[in-house]
Amino acid sequence: MLFNSINYFIFLFAVYLAYILLPHRKQNILLLIASYFFYSCWDIRFLFLIVLSTVVDFSCGRIIHNGVMRKKERTIASLWIISSSFFFVVVQWKYFDFKTQNFTVALKVLLSWKLGWLIFLSICMLVVIANLLHSLLPRLDDNRRRSIFLAISVVANLVILGFFKYFNFFIENIETLIQTFNMNPLNFRLDVILPVGISFYTFQTMSYTIDIYRRKLKPADNFLDFALYVAYFPQLVAGPIERAVNLLPIISTRRNISINQILEGFHLIFYGLFKKVVIADGVARTVNQIYGSTGQTSWLEVIAGTILFAVQIYCDFSGYSDIARGTSKLFGINLMVNFKSPYFSQNPREFWSRWHISLSTWLSDYLYIPLGGNRKGTRKTCRNLILTMLLGGLWHGAAWNFVIWGFYHGTILYIHRIITSMNKFAEIPSNGFTVFFKIAFFFGLTLYGWLLFRAPSFAKIVTLSSSLILDFGNLNFSASLPRAAALFGLPFFLFIEFMEYLKRDEKFYVHLPVPIWTGIYASMLFCLAMGMSTESTQFIYFQF
């Protein structure tokens, strides 16, 4: 179910209508059911992974903090994981034909699918063993117990993420390495489907147990509240990656919805749709043609395609975040801001404080700083920066271009740190010209990074890079132009982004005269109607 589809808004209207009529506790139950339904629209089988991550991290969090789990908590967690393994793994819903009520095939598959039953029985056995071992927990030293259950949480999430996202990537590279020695490797590759949003909710649940271990957070008292924190549908699929310290208190307490929140929510949803449907989808065909071309790509095509991709990925991803935040505001829940005019950044450090803020702060807090940050000398700072960005690149996908992109940004961050440590550069006065030059220069560096990110292979990176250098000045352009909606909408998009940067406020529009803002809204609505006439496309970050 895509945010940019009619089905989503029908779903949202139905959920919201019921939400405003219910008391707080039942609101949470409604949102949890709605979140599971929302995710099941992609593939109901992978709901089991969300439940597995939920149960493991809730249990580990309680044991890290309290030493043991109450009997009621263990019962709820046990029943939750056992029932989900049956209904989401064993039961093959795709074979049920509810229209004809012909369940014969489904029942036959249910009784014969050995892998599903094997997973179910394994889960049952693990739950029984875990409950039997629970009585031994008081015998463990406090520090040792805390470390063991932190490790269980982190390893469980990384195994889930690693298997579904990176298994075939590593197998393919091992096969390639073996083939260099003129050997024929065995085929260990599996037909693995990447569960949508897996990179987001695994990082979100890991941060929960790590914060409890660091004594920065108390564990959730209510299992259903924690389950909603993990699966909350507006930000489940593509973030932002929320922290429990921010989101759990909002979920666990009664929420008051003000008229200002509702108006802000509608604005964010509208602007997010505009960025996605009008701008991102409108330039997508040009970008796809240039980066998917098998022929020679001219210098102008590389430049245009890369600039348009920078616009596309920003509008696509920030558009999702805006719709997620806007939807949440309707429910009285404030999600964190994930983007702050990133293309107005003057340096790489500022860029990562403005782009995908939830991921960059996650990597800083749970990877860069624990590695030592910049506290252990120049060499280790370089190592920490590059390793953090390498893993940040790999987080985006199992492909070498993402690793190269991460290394590129890690190197830029390190070079910037060296330059800013020199006193003579710190003494350069800051004025309008120097600010403009820094923004333009770093935007150029960012663009080349997007070339590395978007290119489908290392060979394509080499081809496009050589066109930039060896084909300089070639103005041939054979790709299709962006759609009319994007061409009409770009001036309004640029105006809003510039005003948000200039005013340092995404709500700057409330200070504009009503006729001006009404005209802008009307023009954007016209562009949105033009953009809606084309087929809706999936958000880019769904693949991550």
Smallest CA-to-CA distance from 443 within 516, 391, 361, 501 is with 501
Helix (H, G, I), strand (E, B) or coil at 74: helix
Rg (the chain; Cα; Å): 25
Smallest CA-to-CA distance from 363 within 406, 318, 314, 418 is with 406
525 in Cβ contact with 274 (< 8 Å): no
CA distance 274 to 281: 10
CA distance 387 to 384: 5
Smallest CA-to-CA distance from 197 within 150, 242, 250, 248 is with 242
326 in Cβ contact with 268 (< 8 Å): yes
Q: DSSP string spanning 348-389?
A: HHHHTTTSSHHHHHHHIIIIIHHHTTTSS-HHHHHHHHHHHH
Per DSSP, what are the bridge partners of residue 102? 97
* Structure tokens, 58: 């809730």
Residues contacting 379, CB < 8 A, separation 6+? none
Backbone angles phi, psi at 499, to 5 degrees: -65, -40
CA distance 105 to 98: 12
Backbone angles phi, psi at 102, to 5 degrees: -95, 95
* Structure tokens, 310: 């920078």
148 DSSP assignment: H
User: Taking the mean position of all CA atoms in its chain, how far away is CA 29?
Assistant: 24
| CA angle, residues 94, 95, 99, in degrees to nearest 5 | 95
319 in Cβ contact with 272 (< 8 Å): yes
Number of H helices, E strands in the chain: 24, 0
CA distance 389 to 385: 6
CA distance 385 to 281: 34
* Structure tokens, 168: 């075939």
CA distance 146 to 68: 11
10 Å CB burial of residue 159 (0-12, 13-18, 19+) is: exposed
| Residues catalogued as catalytic | 396
51 in Cβ contact with 195 (< 8 Å): no
